Structure 1
């Protein structure tokens, strides 16, 4: 015992208690033996490395997670897990986690406070704001919608409509187009396809492990994969053909494809006649968009456009253009029209609800708690960001909102209280210096796990949430991204006890509501919520906890939705509407026509490039950059480097490893360069990951640059997206 310090002995003793019963007096060998022989528990849950939420199984020993692996049946993982999943599990033990409630006491200075003090002060400030400015001055920003049902209850009580997701910086254009034209959303049936076009979509970069498995298995059976992207992305490595399109011109390519399908009578006339509304108008307006018209715009030869269109029709309906998510759908002023054309092209070949074409995700009908009604509920005003409101942003989905204009709402006095949950706008939204102005709101609360930029620079209070491996959540139906015949239900459950003084968001909202005087607003526990959700399914809580993921009988079958012999999509006509009613602005028909990109690099200036960005397989935007293990991969693969086309770089005297200055209208940064043939000459490409600037997130701080540094806050007029690739930068070798 003489070689053990008191601190080490106490720590060892605690571990031994967890490991099992041992003698009161023991040497290190006995301790080591007891700890080693403790059994390993395998606890199923699901990952938080990205929004795929793959099923995982955590291996736990002595109340420590030492390994995670893919859940064997979960639709997204199927026994596999990517680097991000491993890294996020390791981040459980990061020294940069926020270990208890924090209150700002100065610039970059915080003091720990109790939860009771946090609830009391936040509740009183929020109550004062609501009484003075109404509940419509309160805004909630969240990465996704996981906590929406909880937030809605508080917001119904105070009269706020302002629940906003980060989707305006992600895929608003895609979801908006699908909502207006089909009333639903479909996914590519990769495992049964014969021909797949991935345009601006990179399954191998934004990894869905089992999705890539489906694609590779389909290719083994003879399916063709065409990748159209300015950059040779990770998925292009397994493609039959990579076509480096000029960035910002995907709309022109898709318009020309449609022109070929129609002019050569390759489209599915029976399907179009029965299930499409507005085809005649589209046909008339599409006549001018020939492959010859598109060639100088896209840089793709007219004959190649015809070849792709013909092959697309040849293999249909076991063919599709991948509907995508982020890819093309928040980048350009024409992204909404590009998303519309994706729907139209797939409809023209009749692949909707066809095996090997586009299919819906299987779904489950979950139950819900029967909660008491909120008494004296105030009337809600219009959303303060204007989403879905008469005026400039009337076509934007109000259920998603426009997250990246939050600093403007604060400066205009519209947002007085801002809650930011599991989201980091100061790093993942355009123009971080502008995003810092969120701090000027009367109350800013960050609900997070670490010292990200938003917490450090903008928050008055930081409320640390249980880590995803420490918490129980409402069960999740497994859907999206991948079509599947059998619906699944997955449970996120704690695999270890919380390590620090953290809480679930539900308990935080309970504490704040109580402090505001809204007693018993949340008269339930998460366990009760889970029980209510699974009640209609005929399973028990214990069964779900033990399995982690359960699969149910198939619900999805091919065949267009019909009711009483008529098409029954949730649209005005029940059909796919080639004209989106909501987009009928200024006398337009709502049919996609050519809209050029907002900006263009000067072809006569060798220093000008369009700045584009994308994912890396070992990172999820900026969420994973403070993970040491994943940043070592960045070092190994030159992950922080900006890509430049070899011919353009040669003109500027730039070689791989050189440092260059990148400049836009709002920022000037230095970054190292990778010179490659695998990028369109007009583009400079940055990963969407680096450039951390919180001094308390020590691994990420000061590493690389971020595309958001260079982008002013812009709003796509139809869908509210960021237009994050509508920026021209100059690139010059350091010292020139």
Structure 2
């Protein structure tokens, strides 16, 4: 490679007209030499490795990424960045990025201009709306990051069909907590005395500062108990790891509640003052004793009673972790399990308590004064979320993402917009998800050549990478309780190196091509300024300078006089469920499927400390970690493996009702005999993603399309597979 000195580098950059494109072609040694004399630029951004969106400093020289560091104040990171936070930053230079707008022509894609893309999409969408009305258009995303812009488009055409990925993730929790409590409360781990984590794994998650808080609690004398079919990362620091038969968390919870109530260990005063439906719940579950739960879960009855008694002894500084990205949210009984999470925390009286649960402390933001679309009548949602006679208790604001191909097949959806979401890897049965392409118009807005873009898109409109764009401020809340509210901002750290655009400009271009002028008469700077207009004394300049701001307004202990539910109380019996034909109180519902034969297992999945679903599985640095640790291998219990003649490192054939694939096996005693476990990050099949292509398998490869009727979930742990040694 030609050697560059500083003078020739500057000349080349000037000649190209795009300074940022030149360093891409330098070797690392050349780049370091060229950049050594250049000033170091620092910009505060937010990570895109997972939903935690940790605040981080992005350093660059000559528009070339130099390094990233965690923000010491940020709630989720506490100054630390996980492997994903570092690895994902480098993906700005990943060769799998889509570098300009693309149009499908037969089985291939051809590059087109933004003007042509907007013109053709606008014309086709206009015809679809004219012929089939706005109800035939769906916007689905890893939400709600693009909702503000998507809503403008959907309001203009008259579509109610905004949908997030939550039905493939944690929808049972978000469905239950508003109906039972009115708020989703978070745990104050650092000040708790007893921490019970069931199917929840901060170590694999990853929430760096969450692990830090738990370490501090343990050092202070708190007890951590992990209940999980797999010996996960958190189990390594726990006082107890309790293996549980997968799919039976609900029975475990019922056994805990029975012990608390029958032994009069629950907080009677809290329940009497704040709960409706206690007697109905108890009447329905009088026989769900620890002994009964032991038979279902495989956990000794004495251990169930011990956990319940320890929680009661530590109350109200005792927590059943309310986070819901774990193994317990993907079964036919997951809504009832989520209900029991609320009930158990209420029984120990930890609501709105330091060392217990309390709501995230959010700062209210303002919004730009924009031109409002004329009212267009919207019909009912195509997916039936919130619709009587279909899925009446599913949240219409989130929808049922996994049935998108079904809606296309049925002719209910004619145009699909997919933003920052890859359903061909994160929704059930990818071969069925490919049918999305049969819609009259499919527009995918990614950053890379993911499976959904390659196999379903008619048009690909590439978004700027997260380091290349500014977004409006966000509150730092959710997974972790925090006394002091925080806000952070993602600011543009690098100029775009490809012909990409931010989402605002993409949606504006489509709307304007349809003849809708003036609805994006604001800039991102206007949005940031408007968002902060409600925060006295805080300017955009200060937020850009500091990255994360923490406020002194803080949480005060005390249960509210009224809860924001339909009854103004905590509902152990949920009126909304009862009114729509479901049981108002949770009772035992078995999993839909059970392994029966000697070579049958329940296939379960979870996270690894260096990956986030499929979004990170094409990163060369993170995939190097995978190769070093055989991270894509399937875990199998040694006793079961011995019976099948399977040894560590063997290749096995994995068969479900949906597909047959091969995987390598890790034989271990650290997973429950009833199941096999895989990471949810592998199985990429886009040939344009060379680092992730063909590595491992994905649980969705084996999953039938399902909809849990109360919350709309995918039931993605309801997979029974047959495993045989070798390739068959």
TM-score by length of 1: 0.95
Partner residue of 2:457? Answer: 459
Q: Deviations over 1:586-618 (max 9, x none)?
A: 76541000000001000xx22000010000010
Note closer, same or farther for the CA distance 1:186–1:103 as it changes in structure 2 (3 Å cut). same
Partner residue of 1:83? Answer: 83
Q: Distance in 2 between matches of 1:60 and 1:363?
A: 31
Once the two structures are TM-superposed, the CA of residue 350 in structure 1 deviates from its matched residue by 0.3
In the alignment, does 2:483 pair up with 1:491?
A: no
Q: Distance in 2 between matches of 1:702 and 1:66?
A: 31
Partner residue of 2:576? Answer: 582
For the Cα contact (< 8 Å) 2:653–2:727, is it kept in 1?
A: no
Partner residue of 1:334? Answer: 333
Gaps of 5+ in 1: 20-28, 563-567
Partner residue of 1:474? Answer: 472
Q: Distance in 2 between matches of 1:197 and 1:33?
A: 52
Q: Secondary structure at the match of 1:553?
A: coil
For the Cα contact (< 8 Å) 1:330–1:722, is it kept in 2?
A: no
Partner residue of 2:590? Answer: 596
Gaps of 5+ in 2: 20-28
Q: Distance in 2 between matches of 1:721 and 1:178?
A: 15
Q: Secondary structure at the match of 1:306?
A: helix
Q: Secondary structure at the match of 2:697?
A: coil
Q: 1:516 aligns with which of 514, 523, 528?
A: 514
For the Cα contact (< 8 Å) 1:181–1:580, is it kept in 2?
A: yes
Q: Secondary structure at the match of 1:401?
A: coil
Q: Deviations over 1:148-176 (max 9, x none)?
A: 11111111111101000000000000111
Q: Distance in 2 between matches of 1:418 and 1:51?
A: 24
For the Cα contact (< 8 Å) 1:645–1:675, is it kept in 2?
A: yes
Note closer, same or farther for the CA distance 1:321–1:626 as it changes in structure 2 (3 Å cut). same
Higher mean alpha-carbon deviation, 41-50 vs 579-588, is at 579-588
Partner residue of 2:63? Answer: 63
For the Cα contact (< 8 Å) 2:327–2:604, is it kept in 1?
A: no
Q: 2:414 aligns with which of 399, 413, 416?
A: 416
Note closer, same or farther for the CA distance 1:325–1:654 as it changes in structure 2 (3 Å cut). same
Q: Distance in 2 between matches of 1:91 and 1:316?
A: 46
Q: Report matched runs for 1:662-677 at 5 Å.
A: 662-677=654-669
Q: Report matched runs for 1:172-183 at 5 Å.
A: 172-183=171-182
Partner residue of 2:641? Answer: 649
Q: Distance in 2 between matches of 1:464 and 1:3?
A: 31
Partner residue of 2:551? Answer: 552
Q: Distance in 2 between matches of 1:4 and 1:274?
A: 76
Once the two structures are TM-superposed, the CA of residue 293 in structure 1 deviates from its matched residue by 0.9
For the Cα contact (< 8 Å) 1:230–1:679, is it kept in 2?
A: yes
For the Cα contact (< 8 Å) 1:169–1:330, is it kept in 2?
A: no
For the Cα contact (< 8 Å) 1:662–1:731, is it kept in 2?
A: yes
Q: Deviations over 1:609-645 (max 9, x none)?
A: 0010000010000010010000000001110100000
Q: Distance in 2 between matches of 1:635 and 1:102?
A: 33
Partner residue of 1:432? Answer: 430
Partner residue of 2:25? Answer: none
Q: Secondary structure at the match of 2:163?
A: strand
Q: 2:621 aligns with which of 620, 623, 629?
A: 629
For the Cα contact (< 8 Å) 2:370–2:519, is it kept in 1?
A: no
**Number of equivalent positions:** 717
For the Cα contact (< 8 Å) 1:172–1:329, is it kept in 2?
A: no
Once the two structures are TM-superposed, the CA of residue 727 in structure 1 deviates from its matched residue by 1.2
Q: Distance in 2 between matches of 1:18 and 1:61?
A: 14
Q: Deviations over 1:205-256 (max 9, x none)?
A: 0111111100111101011000000001111111100000000000001011
For the Cα contact (< 8 Å) 1:171–1:329, is it kept in 2?
A: no
Q: Distance in 1 between matches of 2:421 and 2:348?
A: 39
Q: Distance in 2 between matches of 1:262 and 1:629?
A: 51
In the alignment, does 2:194 pair up with 1:200?
A: no
Once the two structures are TM-superposed, the CA of residue 33 in structure 1 deviates from its matched residue by 6.5
In the alignment, does 2:717 pair up with 1:718?
A: no
Q: Distance in 2 between matches of 1:724 and 1:159?
A: 33
Partner residue of 1:347? Answer: 346
Once the two structures are TM-superposed, the CA of residue 35 in structure 1 deviates from its matched residue by 3.1
Q: Deviations over 1:687-733 (max 9, x none)?
A: 10101001111111111110100001001011100000111100110
Once the two structures are TM-superposed, the CA of residue 573 in structure 1 deviates from its matched residue by 2.3
Note closer, same or farther for the CA distance 1:181–1:432 as it changes in structure 2 (3 Å cut). same
Q: Distance in 2 between matches of 1:587 and 1:440?
A: 35
Partner residue of 1:94? Answer: 94
Once the two structures are TM-superposed, the CA of residue 82 in structure 1 deviates from its matched residue by 0.2
Once the two structures are TM-superposed, the CA of residue 339 in structure 1 deviates from its matched residue by 0.3
Q: Secondary structure at the match of 2:52?
A: coil
Once the two structures are TM-superposed, the CA of residue 392 in structure 1 deviates from its matched residue by 2.8
Q: Distance in 2 between matches of 1:601 and 1:18?
A: 59
**Displacement over 4 Å in runs of 4+:** 2-6, 8-12, 15-19, 29-34, 585-589
Q: Distance in 2 between matches of 1:400 and 1:11?
A: 50
For the Cα contact (< 8 Å) 2:327–2:605, is it kept in 1?
A: no
Note closer, same or farther for the CA distance 1:588–1:693 as it changes in structure 2 (3 Å cut). closer
Q: Deviations over 1:539-572 (max 9, x none)?
A: 111111111111111332211112xxxxx11112
For the Cα contact (< 8 Å) 2:256–2:290, is it kept in 1?
A: yes
For the Cα contact (< 8 Å) 2:249–2:328, is it kept in 1?
A: no
Partner residue of 2:126? Answer: 127
Partner residue of 1:371? Answer: 370
For the Cα contact (< 8 Å) 1:173–1:721, is it kept in 2?
A: yes
Q: Deviations over 1:393-431 (max 9, x none)?
A: 111111110000000000000110000000000111110
Partner residue of 2:321? Answer: 322
Q: Secondary structure at the match of 2:234?
A: helix
For the Cα contact (< 8 Å) 2:680–2:698, is it kept in 1?
A: yes
Partner residue of 1:294? Answer: 293
Q: Deviations over 1:428-485 (max 9, x none)?
A: 1110000000000000000000000000000000001010000011111111001001
Partner residue of 1:272? Answer: 271
Once the two structures are TM-superposed, the CA of residue 34 in structure 1 deviates from its matched residue by 6.1
Q: Distance in 2 between matches of 1:492 and 1:32?
A: 26
Q: Deviations over 1:506-540 (max 9, x none)?
A: 10111100110111111111110110010121211
TM-score by length of 2: 0.96
Partner residue of 2:700? Answer: 708
Q: Distance in 2 between matches of 1:250 and 1:206?
A: 19
Q: Distance in 1 between matches of 2:381 and 2:349?
A: 38
Q: Distance in 1 between matches of 2:30 and 2:593?
A: 70
Q: Deviations over 1:296-315 (max 9, x none)?
A: 10001111110000001100
Partner residue of 2:567? Answer: 573
For the Cα contact (< 8 Å) 1:249–1:596, is it kept in 2?
A: yes
Q: Secondary structure at the match of 1:523?
A: coil
Note closer, same or farther for the CA distance 1:324–1:15 as it changes in structure 2 (3 Å cut). farther
Partner residue of 1:138? Answer: 137
Q: Distance in 2 between matches of 1:102 and 1:547?
A: 38
Q: Distance in 1 between matches of 2:706 and 2:10?
A: 53
Q: Distance in 2 between matches of 1:30 and 1:319?
A: 56
Q: Distance in 1 between matches of 2:686 and 2:54?
A: 29
Q: Report matched runs for 1:444-455 at 5 Å.
A: 444-455=442-453
